[in-house]
Chain A
Amino acid sequence: MESVELSRYLTMLTLSVHVIFATVGVGVPIMITIAHWLGLKRQDEHYLLLAKRWARGYVISVAVGVVTGTAIALQLALLWPRFMEFAGQLVALPLFMETFAFFFEAIFLGIYLYTWNRFKNPKHHFYLLAPVVLGSAMSALFITSVNAFMNVPQGFTLIGGQLTNIQPLVAMFNPAMPTKVAHVLTSAYMTTAFILASIAAYHLLKGNRHEYHRKALALTMKIALIFSIATALVGDLSGKYLAEYQPEKLAAAEWHFETEGEAPLVLYGVLTEKNEVKYAFKIPYALSILVHSNPFGVVTGLNDIPKEYHPPYEIHYFFDIMVTIGIWLTFLSLVYFIALWRNWSFIKTKIFRILLVTSGPLAMIAIEAGWWFTEVGRQPWIMRGFMQTAEGATDSPHVGIMFVAFAVLYLILLIGTAVVLTRMFKKNPVELELEKDSIEQRSVAK
Chain B
Amino acid sequence: MTLEVIGISVLWLFLFGYVIVASIDFGAGFFNASTIVTRKHHIVNSVIQRYLSPVWEITNVFLVFFFVGMIGFFPKTAYYFGTVLLVPISISIILLALRGSYYAFGTYGTKGHVGYTLMYGVTGVLIPASLSTALIVSQGGFIRETPTGGIELDFLSLFTSPFAWSIVALSLVSVLFISASFLAYYSSVAEDIEALNLFRRYTWIWSFPTIVTAMGIIIEMKWHNPTHYEGMLSLWWLFALSLVCFIASLWLLKKRHYGRSFIFVVLQFAIAFYAYGVSRYPYLLYPNLTIYDGFTNETMAYALITAFVFGFMLLIPSLYLVFKLFIMNKPYIQKRNS
Contacts and interface: CB of A to CB of B under 8 A. Distances in A.
Which bracket fits the contact residues of B?
Answer: 35 or more
A166 B54 CA distance: 40
Contacts of A78: 82, 85-86, 89-90
A171 B329 CA distance: 44
A416 B90 CA distance: 20
Contacts of A81: 78-80, 82-83
Contact of B76 (A59, A85, A90, A163): A85
A155 to B, nearest CB: 10
B192 interface: no
Interface in A79-133: 79-82, 84-86, 88-90, 92-93, 95-100, 102-104, 106-108, 110-111, 114-115, 131
Given A89-B300, A395-B150, A406-B90, A66 B100 contact: yes
Which bracket fits the contact residues of A?
Answer: 35 or more
Contacts of B146: 395
Nearest to A109: B57
B303 A168 contact: yes
Nearest to A95: B68
B68 A73 contact: yes
Counting chain A CB atoms within 10 Å of each CB, the highest count among B71, B148, B307, B308 belongs to: B71
A354 interface: no
B297 A70 contact: no
Contact of A104 (B76, B102, B148, B318): B318
Contacts of B104: 59-60, 63-64
B315 A166 contact: no
Interface in A131-152: 131
A103 B207 CA distance: 33
Interface in B89-117: 89-90, 93-94, 96-98, 100-105, 108-110
Contact of B57 (A82, A106, A398, A413): A106
A395 B321 contact: no
Given A66-B57, A66-B60, A421 B109 contact: yes
A335 interface: no
A409 B69 CA distance: 27
B68 A99 contact: yes
A92 B300 contact: yes
Nearest to A106: B57
B300 A110 contact: no
Contacts of B86: 78-79, 394, 396, 398-399, 402
Main secondary structure of the interface of A (DSSP, over half): helix
A427 B111 CA distance: 11
Given A56-B108, A424-B108, A413 B97 contact: yes
Main secondary structure of the interface of B (DSSP, over half): helix
Contact of B300 (A66, A93, A103, A409): A93
B319 interface: yes
Interface in A387-421: 394-396, 398-399, 402, 405-406, 409, 412-413, 416-417, 420-421
A335 to B, nearest CB: 36
Contacts of A100: 307, 311, 314-315
B263 interface: no
B304 interface: yes
Given A89-B297, A99-B64, 12 more contacts: A66-B60, A77-B78, A78-B86, A88-B71, A88-B75, A93-B72, A93-B304, A100-B315, A106-B61, A402-B90, A405-B90, A417-B105
Interface of A: 56, 59-60, 62-64, 66-71, 73-75, 77-82, 84-86, 88-90, 92-93, 95-100, 102-104, 106-108, 110-111, 114-115, 131, 163, 166-169, 394-396, 398-399, 402, 405-406, 409, 412-413, 416-417, 420-421, 423-424, 427
Interface of B: 53-54, 57-58, 60-61, 63-65, 67-69, 71-73, 75-76, 78-83, 85-87, 89-90, 93-94, 96-98, 100-105, 108-110, 146, 148, 150, 152, 296-297, 299-300, 303-304, 307-308, 311, 314-315, 318-319, 321-322, 325-326
Which 7 residue pairs across A and B have the least CB separation, nearest first? A92-B72, A88-B75, A63-B104, A81-B82, A420-B109, A84-B78, A100-B311
